[in-house]
Amino acid sequence: MTTATPSTYIGARTPRKEDPRLIRGSGVFTDDVTLPGMVYVSLVRSPHAHARIRRIDAAAARKEPGVVTVVTGKDAEATGVLPVFITVPGMNGSKHMPLASDRARYAGDAIAAVVADTHKAAKRAADMVTIDYEPLPVVVDATKALEPGAPILHEELGTNLVFTYPVKGGDIDKAFRDAEATVKLHIVNQRLIPNAMEPRSVVAKFEAGELTVWSSTQIPHFVQLILSVNLGLSQNKVRVIAPEVGGGFGSKLQVYAEELLIAHLAKTLGRPVKWTEDRREAYLATIHGRDLVEDVEVAAKRDGTILGVRIRTVANVGAYLQAFAPGIPTILHAFIIPGAYRIPAFDCEVRGAYTNTTPVDAYRGAGRPEATFAIERAMDRLADEIGMDPAELRRKNFVPPDAFPFTTISGITYDSGDYGPALDRALAMADYKGFEKRRAEAKARGKHRGIGLSSYVEICGLAPSKANSALGVGWGGYESARIRVHPTGAVQVFTGTSPHGQGHETSWAQIAADAIGVSPDDIEVRHGDTFESPGMGVGTFGSRSLAVGGIAVHNAAQKIREKVIQIGAHLLEASPADVVVEGGKVFVKGVPEKAKAFGEISMAAYLASNLPDGMEPGLEATTYYDPPNFTFPFGTHVAEVEVDPETGTIEIIRYSACDDCGRQINPMIVEGQLHGGITQGIGQALYETAVYDANGQLLSGSMMEYHVPTAADVPPFALDHTVTLTKTNPLGVKGIGEAGTIASTPAVVNAVIDALSPLGIKHIDMPLTAEKVWQAIRKAGEARR
């Protein structure tokens, strides 16, 4: 473990620049954008999960007061197809149009768009569009969708199989031949609904040949690129703005049907167009997350040494492939299953399947929570099987600190790590040693108490462009930054990242401030507008922003610093090596009283009459940073729970976590990410599940049924960290956006199973609802009788 030296601003708990406007309600979100002459869209969505569309009758809707037009799939073919950015070998892609014209493939598939002068008129008229459907057989379960005779969603493919994706290493047969102990688990990693606080919204206007689109998106540059290509507009004539974005969690990491459609309507109608989904629509038509079924087998020696892991996975991709869907259960899941452990043999195969359900794509953690859940549940099961303490089993199999950079059996190279200290600190915080006493005390009160841990490694810093290319990701993984210092010394940072709650305006200012030697207060960070962006931005997802976008900012700031030093040295008649840039001043080492203010240097850069020979005027720098590798944060989380056997209710009594994300730029933001992430992971463990009936109707279709946990559902979190710098980038940063979500789900489930293990209970499918827990306890009681 290395301890980072705190810099002036990097490492400070700087209050977020974003918060005053958000707290005061003065932030402008997409739905706040209202333009003169604007029309509103309401979408008619299929009530059937699978049906042929025989006829669409919009005559009555067209006659409604205020209705401008009703558009169906045949009218909107000019939008082109929705993009998929990842192609895995042998993939059967789906043709996905913004409006389905021949067949609806999930309940919520959009069929027609009603455009009217008011939102209300559009909504009312949408109810008057009559569609003659011929219902078709439905399949919602991915495993069943792959069985012979299952209803086929995309007839041109002749199969529901999207891909078969193997990742193998070592001799798995030998591992199981040599095994002294084996465990098997069947895991249902249930479907989740992302529930960003702000629903999606799109506003578009087309004026003087220029298309402007406001969208609640994590990837404005991709949206701009696709709009330009699909709608046949020169890219310089398409501007996409992601204003305030109220959360995404991957659900806004798309180029959605509505973005193409609303832009197309603005272009064809010549009036500004707005569409905003309501929460019920969001449940149906915004992507869902997870939905994997996994069969895990582990081979080990009786002393706990793991010999091999075999895993077979079926991933439900929903009715169509969305933008990043092919990469989630494959690249981001299969490769990371070995986790924090040295595993000599690995055999993984993931199959993807189309079903008559809402499309599934990235949801906070995206593949990595599934991988971590599989391996961390398997570790606990193995510990139980061989009678070893779960913490000791993990420690025994950890990749040792001297093995880094470490290439896993799945073939990826971990940059740096020291897993033991994070485990030790988490266990100490959790008073792991004193637990059995607490278990006994709880038992006396009639409660089952349990403790569970999860040690994770995640992939962040997506991604080296060459790795992207090798893995079938159809775009580079770099990020861009531009810093403009105005003549007066005002500093603007333009970033290609697109924050939606992450606080980049604050963290990027801290990074730039350290390099340029001015205060973060004097640095404005701008993002999410393709017309003022540094160039091509990739966006914010996969815990990539800091380790890629933050480094781009750092590198651009270094270029500014270099030029400031050169100009300073020239003006101070000193050697550049002796020039110090600090506190808004530039001076020769040891002579701070003869300083030039930062503004004097910037002014000199633009007066341009007294610059070093051959130097260009101006003070501006643009960089693209392409990371040489991913980053691999890690840590251990420990949950302690009590189960009420009479009602099956679970209370999380205590939660301790030690995370290592390399250098922390702003520890307050790191903690905020963990608080939210842990809570979200607890949501999957205990509460959240998207439930379809056999007809493909979403039963958990609103927040009245689907519980998103709040602060009221969780205990205070005890957080600690270690700092193991990565050598992948100059700041040694790794990423923290998803760690909480990745780690907490298995920690909580392991704790509950530990609590119930004295009853002989070894497994309960997520979410661990009160009824499931009660039923498990009851059945265990009957079994013992």
Partner 1 sequence: MITHPFTYAAPTTIDEAVKALGRSRDAKVLAGGHSLIPLMKLGLAEPELLVDIGRIASLREIKSEDGAIVVGALATHRSIADSSTIGKALTALAEAAAAVGDLQVRSRGTIGGSLAHADPAADEPAPTLAFDATIRVIGPKGRRDIPAREFFKETFETALGPNEIVVEIRFPAPAGHAGSAYAKFPHPASGFAIVGVAALVAVKSDGTIDRAAIGVTGAAAGPFRATAAERALVGTRGDASAIGAAAAKAAEGVTMLADLTASSEFRKQLVMVHTRRALERALERARG
SS3 state of residue 729: coil
- Of the pair 330, 745, the CB lying nearest partner 1 is at 745
- Of the pair 38, 383, the CB lying nearest partner 1 is at 38
Number of residues that bind partner 1 (CB under 8 A): 27
* Residue bearing tokens 């702003």: 666
Query: Is residue 60 a contact residue for partner 1 (CB under 8 A)?
Result: no
Query: Is residue 132 a contact residue for partner 1 (CB under 8 A)?
Result: no
Sites for partner 1 among residues 683-712 (CB under 8 A): 687, 691, 699-700, 703-708
Preceding omega of 98 cis (within 30 degrees of 0): no
Distance in angstroms (rounded) separating the CA atoms of residues 511 and 669: 14
Query: In whole angstroms, how close is the CB of 642 to partner 1 at the nearest point?
Result: 16
Q: Give the DSSP H/E element, type plus range, for residue 104.
A: strand 103-104
Query: In whole angstroms, how close is the CB of 245 to partner 1 at the nearest point?
Result: 22
- Residue of the chain from 2, 234, 413, 647 that contacts partner 1 (CB under 8 A): 647
Query: In whole angstroms, how close is the CB of 150 to partner 1 at the nearest point?
Result: 25
Amino acid letter at 600?
A: E
Judge whether 295 and 186 are in contact, CB under 8 Å: yes
SS3 content of the chain, % helix, strand, coil (to 5): 35, 25, 40
Distance in angstroms (rounded) separating the CA atoms of residues 417 and 166: 27
Tokens read off for 262: 């609303």
Query: Is residue 770 a contact residue for partner 1 (CB under 8 A)?
Result: yes
Sites for partner 1 among residues 82-111 (CB under 8 A): none
- Of the pair 40, 398, the CB lying nearest partner 1 is at 40
- Of the pair 358, 689, the CB lying nearest partner 1 is at 689
Query: Is residue 646 a contact residue for partner 1 (CB under 8 A)?
Result: yes
Distance in angstroms (rounded) separating the CA atoms of residues 335 and 370: 11
Sites for partner 1 among residues 513-532 (CB under 8 A): none
Judge residue 310's burial from the number of C-beta atoms within 10 Å of its C-beta, 0-12 exposed, 13-18 middle, 19 or more buried. buried
Binding mask 255-294 for partner 1 (x = CB under 8 A): -----------------------x-x--------------
Q: Are strands 346-354 and 161-169 parallel, antiparallel or unpaired?
A: antiparallel
Strand order in the sheet with 579-582: 579-582, 585-588, 596-597
Query: In whole angstroms, how close is the CB of 444 to partner 1 at the nearest point?
Result: 16
Distance in angstroms (rounded) separating the CA atoms of residues 4 and 522: 25
Taking CB under 8 A as the binding criterion, the range among 171-179, 291-299, 646-654, 657-665 that sits at the site for partner 1 is: 646-654
Query: In whole angstroms, how close is the CB of 646 to partner 1 at the nearest point?
Result: 5
- Of the pair 46, 664, the CB lying nearest partner 1 is at 46
- Of the pair 78, 699, the CB lying nearest partner 1 is at 699
Distance in angstroms (rounded) separating the CA atoms of residues 698 and 127: 20
Query: In whole angstroms, how close is the CB of 648 to partner 1 at the nearest point?
Result: 8
Query: Is residue 32 a contact residue for partner 1 (CB under 8 A)?
Result: no
Smallest CA-to-CA distance from 772 within 81, 188, 345 is with 188
Preceding omega of 463 cis (within 30 degrees of 0): yes
- What one-character DSSP code corresponds to residue 78? G
Q: Are strands 634-643 and 448-457 parallel, antiparallel or unpaired?
A: antiparallel
- Of the pair 165, 283, the CB lying nearest partner 1 is at 283
Binding mask 710-729 for partner 1 (x = CB under 8 A): ---x----------------
Judge whether 53 and 100 are in contact, CB under 8 Å: yes
Query: In whole angstroms, how close is the CB of 700 to partner 1 at the nearest point?
Result: 6
Binding site for partner 1 (CB under 8 A): 119-120, 123-124, 127, 278, 280, 646-649, 687, 691, 699-700, 703-708, 713, 769-771, 774-775
